[in-house]
Amino acid sequence: MCDVAFTVMDLDARNRQDLSNIFLNTYLEHTGDWQGLQVLPVYLSRQAYVRAKVNSIILDDPNISQENHQKAQQEAKNYYHLAWKYTQQHQGKIIIMSGLSGSGKTTVAKYIAEKINGILIRSDAVRKHLGNVSLDETGNSELYNEEMNQKTYERLIKLGEIVAKEGFNLILDAKFDRHQLRKPVIEIAKKDNIFLTILSCYAPVEILSDRLSKRKGDISDATSDLLQQQKNNIQDFNEEEMSYVKKIDTTNNWKEQITEFFR
């Protein structure tokens, strides 16, 4: 996390938070080290402070030009300010993605993560880390029995609680198709007074099937032949859940819908 923080901080300092977010989420997904986020702010502040200190030392050099002196002074100021920003407490939010395979959950989740500098945790990645298999491995049916499903959601929700309590914006990407899976997250949000949204993604079944048949290079193992089973298992949102739900039609201007929701 110390090394990761240096790259994240450097990109933040250059006003490329979009790239720092992609880099961080890619690292976390491939290593499974989401718990490391508990110490990330400390290292971010430290790395920014080191950069600030180096620029401050340059100011004592009598041989540098006035132009370079002013440049070093401004950079030191910017890095000190960034180091301070990393120490500030933040109130994060939790976003649950929900919907059938192929409904666009992950595409929407990645877009939101970049927009709100959020931490994206995908159930597909959590499942494979629990099973000690490569994210690139496909077709392992043992990863999808009922016991593994339960372990995956328990781990996903536990990680979500840890990350959200640290003040990060959090996106949990899974089907969340049953009340018993959504309820624990709602209870965490209530207990810790964390803003919660459930984004329910949908599209016609024929489009879902087409998307799944064309999917390549993704860690998900979902195929179109699972859609009917998923439809049979899904439970509609109850009255309590509906107060958190925003529905996203992923076939039509979904980015505009997202912008409206988070305005």
DSSP letter string over 66-116?
Answer: HHHHHHHHHHHHHHHHHHHHHTS----EEEEEE--TTSSHHHHHHHHHHHH
For residue 109, count other CB atoms closer than 10 A to its CB: 23
For residue 262, count other CB atoms closer than 10 A to its CB: 13
The whole-angstrom separation of Cα 96 and Cα 79 is 34
Cα distances (angstroms) measured from residue 200 to each of 100, 230, 258, 262: 9, 15, 12, 15
Q: Which residues contact 212 (CB under 8 A, 6 or more apart)?
A: 101, 102, 222, 223, 224, 227
> In this predicted structure, what is the pLDDT of residue 263?
67
Q: For residue 131, what are the β-bridge partners?
A: none
* Residue 54 C-beta-side C-alpha neighbours within 13 Å: 8
In this prediction the pTM is 0.90
> In this predicted structure, what is the pLDDT of residue 121?
98
First to last CA, the chain: 32
> In this predicted structure, what is the pLDDT of residue 47?
97
> In this predicted structure, what is the pLDDT of residue 139?
67
| DSSP label of 170 | E
> In this predicted structure, what is the pLDDT of residue 71?
92
> In this predicted structure, what is the pLDDT of residue 183?
97
Q: Are 255 and 115 in contact (CB under 8 A)?
A: no
> In this predicted structure, what is the pLDDT of residue 223?
73
Which phi and psi (to 5°) does residue 249 adopt? -85, 105
Q: Which residues contact 103 (CB under 8 A, 6 or more apart)?
A: 201, 202, 203, 208, 250
pLDDT averaged over 10-residue windows placed end to end, the chain, 263 residues: 97 96 97 97 97 92 90 95 95 93 92 94 94 84 87 96 95 94 96 94 90 80 77 91 94 86 71
The whole-angstrom separation of Cα 172 and Cα 119 is 8
The whole-angstrom separation of Cα 263 and Cα 254 is 14
> In this predicted structure, what is the pLDDT of residue 220?
79
